[in-house]
Structure 1
């Protein structure tokens, strides 16, 4: 167990951040899944910028790697273009 005040605060902060990161990551994954399941090009084109924005935010905060974000965006844009 932590003995210093700063270590206790660090534990609280890291748990809060972990939960926030987990929530954002899960939300983005669900959005990606939903976009991949769409068959209407119009809906997909409308949803695409929102999902890309989510992915960019995750990469910016180092929740996912920048290359993974790039791969996901590329994959999604190909999917939307193919509809």
Structure 2
């Protein structure tokens, strides 16, 4: 167990950040799933910019790797174009 005040604070702040990152990551995964499940081109085109923005934010904050974000964006772009 931590003995210093600063270490206790670090534990609390890390937990808060972990929960926030987990929430954002899960929300983005659900949005990606919804975009992939979309069968209407118009619906997919409306969702696409929002999902791309979410993925970019995760990559910017190092929640996901930048290459993973790039691969996701590429695959989603191809999916929307193919509809």
* TM-score for both structures, normalised by structure 1: 0.99
Aligned to 1:46: 46
Q: Displacement of 1:5 after TM fit?
A: 0.5
Q: Deviations over 1:22-80 (max 9, x none)?
A: 00000000000000000000010011000000000000000000000000000000000
Whole-angstrom distance in 1 between the partners of 2:75 and 2:13: 34
> Aligned runs of 1:1-83 on 2, under 5 Å?
1-83=1-83
Aligned length: 83
Q: Where does the alignment leave 5 or more consecutive residues of structure 1 unmatched?
A: none
CA RMSD of superposed structures (Å): 0.3
Deviant stretches of 4+, over 4 Å: none
Q: Where does the alignment leave 5 or more consecutive residues of structure 2 unmatched?
A: none
Whole-angstrom distance in 1 between the partners of 2:20 and 2:73: 22
Q: Displacement of 1:9 after TM fit?
A: 0.3
* TM-score for both structures, normalised by structure 2: 0.99
